[in-house]
Structures are given as C-alpha cells and as structure tokens.
Amino acid sequence: MKKTAILFLLCVCCNSTLFAARKQILLNENWNFRFSWQVQKNSERRVDLPHTWNAQDALAGEQDYFRGVGNYRKMIDIPEEWKGKRLFLRFEGANTVTNLFINQQHVGEHRGGYGAFVFDLTDRVDYGKPNEILVRVNNALQLDIMPLVGDFNFYGGIYRDVYLIVTDEQQISLTDYASPGIYLVQEKISEKEAVVNARVMLSNYAATEEAELTVNIFDGGKKLLSEKKTLTLPTGINQPQEIRFTLPSPRLWDGRKDPFCYQVRVDLAVNGQIVDTVSQPLGLRYYTVDADKGFFLNGNPLKLRGVCRHQDRPEIGNALRPMHHREDMDIILEMGTNAIRLAHYPQAPYFYDLADESGLIIWAEIPFIGPGGYEERGYVDQPAFRANGKEQLKELIRQHYNHPSICMWGLYNELKTIGDSPEAYIAELNALAHDEDPTRPTVAASFLGDDNALSPHSDLIAWNKYYGWYGGSFADLGRWADGIHRQFPAYKIGISEYGAGASIYHQQDEVKSGDASGWWHPENWQTAYHIGNWQAIAERPFIWGSFVWNMFDFGAAHRTEGDRPGINDKGLVTFDRKVKKDAFYFYKANWNTEDRFVYIANRRHTRRTQPLTTVTVFSNLKEVELFVNGKSLGRQTPDGYATFTWNEVALSAGENQIEARSVNGKDRKSDIVLWSWK
C-alpha cells in the first residue's frame, strides 16, 4: 500500500458524536481543483478544504463574481477489509448544487447550499483499489433553489468539511436528511421532572436481525440511567424506534447562567455486540413567549439581547475553520450577548455546538430571502422551488434538532407579496415546521408594513427596522413598536434587524448622519444610532428580543458604499475582527456586568477641529473620573444606559491626553486616548 494511502487510513478521528464500530475519516486535504471551463490537461491546482473560489473576486466588490461550476477531484484507497461495511460520504456544506461521481459514475445530486448531505458509496467503490472522487459544485443562480436573492455573497465551493464514514450494515441512520439519526424530544420539562422520548432512526442493509437498542444518560462521566429495548430489525433504512425515559429533579440548561448539558449515548447491538454508537447533547429547558411580557426561559423573564451573524471573512470568504468560529463566539460573548440570529441560512454545525456550550439562544433559519429594497424576487411559484424549500427546512430541523440553544425556526426574511405571493406557501412551511418539531415556535423577519398578509403565519413575528439610517429618526422605533403592539395585541413582536453602517476611518466632530447608500459612514453616527435604538427596545418589555444587524462587517459584492465597495459595514466589529467599533462597547457596558472596563468613545477621531469637545465614556462601573492632560474634570455616575458624558471639554493646542479612570483604587480600570487640536 502506498504511503499516502496508509496516512489516509491513519487519519481516523472520533467525532464527539461518533463512537464504537463507526469510523469517521476527514477528507479535507489534497484535492485537485479546476473550473468547468478549464478543459485542458494539467489545469488542476491543489486546494484544501474548506474552500471557496470566490474569496478574491466577490470580496473585491466584483458584482459579476464567478457563479458557475467548479470541480474537485481526489483519489482515495478503499481497503479490501471494508467489504461488508457501509461507506458514506458526508458533506457539511457545499454551495449550491453538488453532483458526486465515483470512478466517473454519477452517484447523486444535492440541491441547496447550506445544509449537510450524505451519499451512500457502498456499491459504487472498487475495494482494494484507488478510487476517484469527483465533486462538481455549481453556485449559479437557479430558480428552483433557495435563495434566489440576498444581500450577501453566494460563495461557491466545498466550504465546509467532508468526511468518509464507515459503519456496519446495521447502524443508527446517516441518511435521514443527514441528521444524527437521533431526536431527543422533550415532552415534559420542569424543575421536578424531565420526560424525554428518544426517537432513533435505524437502518439495516443485511438480513433481518434481532437487535438491542440502549439509551444511556450521562452527567459528565457518571451514568445516570440506562433504558433498553429488544427489537427485530428488518431490512430497510430509516426505521424509527422510540425509548422514553424520565429524569427526576433535572439540572436545566439555563442560558448563559448555566448552559448545562447531559450526554445521551445510544448503542445499537446485534448478536450481543455493539455495532454502532452515537452520542448527542441533551440540554433540558422550557420556554415561552408572551405578547406583553416577552421571552421566558425556565419560567424566568429573559429579554433576548441579540446580534445577527454572517459566516464570512476577508481572504477566505465563507471557508471558515474552527478557530474562526471560536473567535467569533468569544467576541459575541464578550459583548454580553445572550442570543444570536444566524442569518440567513443554516451555519456550521460547530457553531451550534459553541452556542450550546455558551448558553446562547439561537434563531436558526432557512435561506428563504426576499429582495428587501433591491430588484429581483425571493419567491417563484413553481413546484420545484416549493419542494426545495421544504427539503431545506427538513434538513435544518432534523440536522440540528438536539441543540438546546435553538429555540425557534425561522421561515423567511424580507419577502414581498406583489406578483407571486408567498402567503400560502409560508403557511405550508409553518405547518411543516410544526410537524417536524412540535416543541419549538416558528419565527419570521418582515420588512413590510404592519398590516400585511404574511405576519400571522408564524408563531413569533419580528421586523427589520432601520430608523435613523434609511430615513426617519431614532425615536421612530419606539413609536412604531407601541403602535403595532396596540394594533395587534396578540402578536409576539421582536426586532430581527436594526443597524447603521460605520467605517473606522470616517470620523467627524459633529454627530450627524452619513449617506446610507454613499461613501460617508461616520462611526459616531452608528454609535448614536445604537444608543437611541437600544433605549427604545430596552424600555418595552413586550419586545421579546432584538438582533443587531450585524455583529461583524460582511461581504456583499453589489454594495458601493462606506470606505470601499463590496462590504456591508453595519457590523459592530470590522470584517477582519481586529477592531471593535465604539457601538460594541456601548452594548458591552449595558449587557456585560462581569467584565469591568472603561472605554472612551470617538477615540479614532484623533485630529480635532474645534477647541471644545464632548467626551463620552462607556463603562459598566458605577463611577468614572475624567482627566485631561492630568487635570481632573470631576467624577460622574452613568445615565440609565452605562454612558458618562462630559460636555464642553477644552482642548489645548497640540496633543492632549484624555484619560477615563475608575475611582476604585483596588481594581483600577482606565482608558487613555490622544487627541490633537490645531
């Protein structure tokens, strides 16, 4: 056997959800890539996964970035001893249409760019020989696949991990919409008792066998209980079996306060031997949403202070690795966030794991996206499009069913009702979501007028509102919210998006609006925008949650605004994650009560044109003292929103040192900036 084949076989890793006879082999390294138009011999180049071919052109603001077919080819050895096993190829995500060929024979197709999918290779490979894998991925717009439009880049490629999975012929199914094959249905949850129904999908590719299914519950390394079921396993795939169990006095998954999870390990045994094992998290929680009082987790009020997140970065596009997801999560948690809307599509499985561990409430959604204020359409009334959307909704729910962080399934974003109206179809999606998962509510993000036909077709309804950026003023948000709450008292109202663009290079003395669609996006206006909008949200308990648009700047090739084309700069953090804008610290001061800090706003406006200025400080401390060139200008306590303000501060000609300092000498926090005048 060749050295490469030996190394390939040694690269067997046990995923946190996969044990026993199942083997999972990461196939990310050493693929040969070419575009479909590169038909000459030797036109391939080596790439490693995750990979996108649009990391350069889309992020350079080229609106006609390449949307077509890319080819990924790789040789793997399939050992003779794998005969009698089942072989599957699992893709965590490839955008948008994926066709798989083994040894130049077509295996199958997957249509959709954001969910996982699995192909069965067992009868397609040559055992004891090298086998060629060819994956053809197409990210061109197609009218039968969601999304049809979106204010973000549709990066093409195999941008998430790929695994070869080897199992016995009897297994916990891998082919039920690429789910883990286990659904932990939380039927009754309270502080006194948790009743859970473990619904397990089984597959048997051999003759009928007597089997035993065991569900084990662990608290760390301690086994709490074990429930068994003896069954006859006939030939066939995706056969459901159920085992119900009860935990007395359970420890609840309680958001950021206590994101505790049990572990559920499901064993499948045949002839007394375990042939497959899968483990899943079990975070027990119950929650409700009240039209007047908002969101409640485990019986306690919890206003969802959220952000939205896109999955891309400079230079690599959407081909993120674990370290990128971890860095994003660390920044989100630092701000004191307790909820995330993962817009506008299913995101990496690892990020949902991080949300579980961190105690964040997740709004997960399918990519059913309308044009908002742009041209094109988000919905086409044709059977193929409707069927594809339902398939993507099933993938989202089944693949991520067991994540305790996910508390709502999103159905759409910014759809219009003119022309082909999606109203009847949204009602179908809502019914499908409840059939798939009766335990979670549905939600939608609207931008239509208050009295529109779509809003009643989801359990929760939220609006994308940009008062103070795309027209209007900050005060309009509160007036709008009060009005719609009066008009529709049964609606459970959220704010799905609100935000303003900001460049860290655009600084000004005056606090005045920039040009939303132009090249001037001053940072201090974004700060003022968020102060005004958050006040309106915080003062209204009926708003169950709000989600800043966006946590990070992100790529949108069609945008021509801000300090460069191709970027939506509404993020609280720059695209490269290196600079947290002033508005980030406003939220951190209001939302994070543990990480004590002092932060001087407008810090990047270093060359002042006026001798008198306002110094604004964000801090979660109770008292802050300001010094200018070593002279104290007095102590202040914050207003109701963690903001300290010193007006008409005189600057000296030349360089000035501005220092904000806590008054507690034992644990002193301070911040210093240098501003020049003249």
**At which residue do the structure tokens 């999870």 appear?**
261
| Residues 6 or more apart whose Cβ sits within 8 Å of residue 56 | none
Inter-residue contact 335 to 584 (CB < 8 Å)? yes
| Residue 665, burial from CB neighbour count under 10 angstroms (0-12, 13-18, 19+) | exposed
| Rounded Cα distance, 219 and 249, in Å | 13
| Rounded Cα distance, 454 and 427, in Å | 9
Catalytic, 414? Answer yes
Three-class secondary structure of residue 370 per DSSP: coil
Give the 3-state secondary structure of 149-161: CCCCCCCCECCCC
| Rounded Cα distance, 495 and 304, in Å | 10
Q: Among residues 420, 363, 324, 321, which one has the least CA distance to residue 547?
A: 363
Catalytically annotated residue among 169, 365, 414, 497: 414
| Residues 6 or more apart whose Cβ sits within 8 Å of residue 323 | none
**At which residue do the structure tokens 């199914």 appear?**
173
Distance of CA 42 to the CA centre of its chain: 38
Three-class secondary structure of residue 300 per DSSP: strand
Give the length of the chain.
Answer: 678
Distance of CA 501 to the CA centre of its chain: 21
| Residues 6 or more apart whose Cβ sits within 8 Å of residue 112 | 96, 145, 146, 388, 391, 392, 395
Tokens of 597: 């800090």
Q: Rounded to 5 degrees, what angle do the CA atoms 645, 647, 648 make?
A: 155
List 208's β-bridge partners, or say none: none
Q: Rounded to 5 degrees, what angle do the CA atoms 259, 264, 265 make?
A: 145
Inter-residue contact 94 to 111 (CB < 8 Å)? no
Q: For the sheet containing 287-290, what is the strand order? A: 287-290, 294-297, 300-301
Q: Which residues are catalytic?
A: 414
